Amino acid sequence: MTPKEVEQAFRNLPDDLMEEEAGGEMRYSSIGHTDMHRVLVVVWTTRRRMIRPVTAYDADRWMAVEYLTGRGFGL
């Protein structure tokens, strides 16, 4: 996956999954989609008032179907 795809997932208004503290900072997990409907889970934090992705990966099949269905995308 590319940085552009991660940016698209944020731009397309992702859903929050969870938050936790790790290494002294808050980390958040969100699920979102790219412009081509690739569903990503993005773990991110904020530093200096900016969003900083930590890691991102493809959502598993079940999660992707749930997410896309909830967004009204027909499968």
Q: Is the pLDDT of residue 74 over 80?
A: no
Does residue 40 contact residue 58 with C-beta atoms inside 8 Å? yes
In the chain, what is the straight-line distance between the N-terminal and C-terminal CA atoms, in Å? 22
Does residue 52 contact residue 39 with C-beta atoms inside 8 Å? no
Residue ranges of alpha helices (H) inside 1-75 are 3-11, 61-70
pLDDT of residue 75: 64
Q: pLDDT of 17-41, one tens digit each?
A: 999 999 899 999 999 999 999 999 9
Q: What is the DSSP letter of 73?
A: -
CA proximity to 69, closest of 29, 17, 31: 31
